[in-house]
Amino acid sequence: MEVTVDGIGGQFQKEDEGTGAMQRWGRRGGAEVVDGFTAGNGEEGRCRQGRNLHVSRLGRVDGGREVDDDSKVESSKLWWRGRQKQWIEDFKSWKVMGVKTDNIRTPVEPQRLRDKKVRDLVADNRRLVQVPYTATIAHTLNTLVANQVVAVPVAAPPGHWIGAGGSMILESDKHTGLARKHYIGMVTMLDILSHIAGDEPEGRDEDSNMEQRMSVPVSSVIGHCLESLSLWTLNPNTSILDCMEVLSKGIHRALVPLDSKTESLAGVELVETASTYRMLTQMDLIKFLKGHEAELKHVFNRTVNELSLLVEPIFGVTSHTKVIDAIKSMRAGSLIAVPIVESTNPDTEDHSQLVNGKGRKVIGTFSATDLRGCPVSQLQSFLPETVLEYSRSLLSVSAHMAGSSPRELVTCYGESRLGEVVSNLVANHVHRVWVVNDNGLLEGLVSLTDIIRVIRSSLLE
């Protein structure tokens, strides 16, 4: 029987498992067409759904006589629902003859989370935000603020630089394939702050010194902090499980070449050439996983303690620590953020160093990301303030800046479910949650790195 599927003529058939008979299935003008052959004595029965929404079921053979059983249905939707489940199984056994199955509209089972690829994670990400190697610190800082990002890759002409960590990540012309940019490193907010808060020569005017620091090229601060000493790429065809393994081992972000020519599909790469890149961060991955919460109920319903997510010891700064000392301590410890805790003895405690925050009252968070929202003109005046004074000053600054708001203190308990923790992380766009007891005393922290690790483990079980 000749049928038309979405305007394309052809035949396809299905073998009936019970009788060994063959059935031809097709679609014509929005109506299902089935030509069935019974195995009894070769008599033929027909089944059609016509434009009048009649359904003629497969005729039965009784003594060589064909019997038609016609019945009306209220709508084609009712008929469809009744047959949908069976058709999914039928489709698996079709033997196509002259018809492309891509044109057959049938229900498709949703792709499992563990079958997703890196390209699925960056599908909706914006174009890569970057700065040239000649950009000043002031220009780079303004770029971070304007685009609400905490790190940007630095681009330079190819053939003149060695990339961070020995990387060779090139951007090529889409038509000619010639290299036009070389990404020589990644500059983070902590790199810039470490440069600004660096040791000042004696006798130097602070205002002129700040102006000089802000005018140096950004290429000179690459590698000020441990994280920017390397630059990585992830192949777009890398599985989400391999991606999670990479991002659970201390790598916070990677470039994704959308048209990669590299064959390797697992792990990070130091050598890559592509015409277009996207940035993939740990937060992008967490948001993607939250969007598939239904598949992760088995792990999202477990508590922080059950998953052994709590990390300790945890280092922080006291409420009396100066901003400049906090930045230097964070640089030394490769920390992007630290808790602000109450001082046990304000008069004798060394407030210029990190302290063990366990068992102390948490009163805030000091983050390099928050300083991104501080106007460049006011950075100098904030450095000698205490972190607590700075937090209060930021409240005032944020009130006058459109779209800017200070971070709320995000905490959880050891009995908090992972799903709740992830929701708080995403809603507040923070990269860690402080774990406290019923009295608000610090017990540890939960980081994006550890969350990604336990979710990956659950998908492998």
Q: How does pLDDT run across 297-330, given as a tens digit for each residue?
A: 999 999 999 999 988 889 999 999 999 999 999 9
* Predicted TM-score (pTM) of this structure: 0.72
Going across the sheet that includes 355-356, the strands are 355-356, 315-318, 337-341, 362-367
H-type alpha helices, 35-157? 76-92, 118-121, 137-147
Go through the domains of the chain in sequence order and give each one's CATH number. Answer: 3-109 (no CATH), 115-290 (3.10.580.10), 297-460 (3.10.580.10)
Residue 223 has pLDDT above 90, yes or no: no
- DSSP letter, residue 187: E
Q: How does pLDDT run across 16-72, given as a tens digit for each residue?
A: 444 444 444 444 334 344 443 333 333 333 433 333 333 333 333 334 444 444 444
* Residue from 196, 187, 172, 195 nearest 132 by CA: 187
Residue 104 has pLDDT above 80, yes or no: no
pLDDT score, position 291: 93
**Residue given tokens 């205490």 in the structure block:** 386
Neighbours of 329 (CB within 10 A): 20
Q: How does pLDDT run across 123-159, given as a tens digit for each residue?
A: 999 999 999 999 999 999 889 988 889 899 999 999 8
**Residue given tokens 């002031």 in the structure block:** 138
Say what angle helices 189-196 and 206-214 make with each other, to 10 degrees. 150
Contact 246, 282 (CB under 8 A): no
Report the distance separating Cα 14 and Cα 94, nearest Å: 5
pLDDT score, position 351: 92
* Residue from 434, 422, 458, 450 nearest 250 by CA: 450
Least confident of 172-176, 285-289, 453-457: 172-176
3-state secondary structure of 282: helix
- Mean pLDDT of all residues in 207-219: 84
E strands present in 101-238 = 131-132, 151-156, 168-172, 179-188, 233-234
pLDDT score, position 71: 45
Least confident of 295-309, 372-386, 397-411: 397-411
Top mean-pLDDT range of 25-29, 205-209, 382-386? 382-386
Q: What is the chain's mean pLDDT, rounded?
A: 77
Better-scored residue on pLDDT, 66 or 254 = 254
* Residue from 186, 375, 196 nearest 280 by CA: 186
pLDDT score, position 277: 96
pLDDT score, position 56: 36
Neighbours of 100 (CB within 10 A): 12
Report the distance separating Cα 241 and Cα 244, nearest Å: 5
- Mean pLDDT of all residues in 185-189: 92
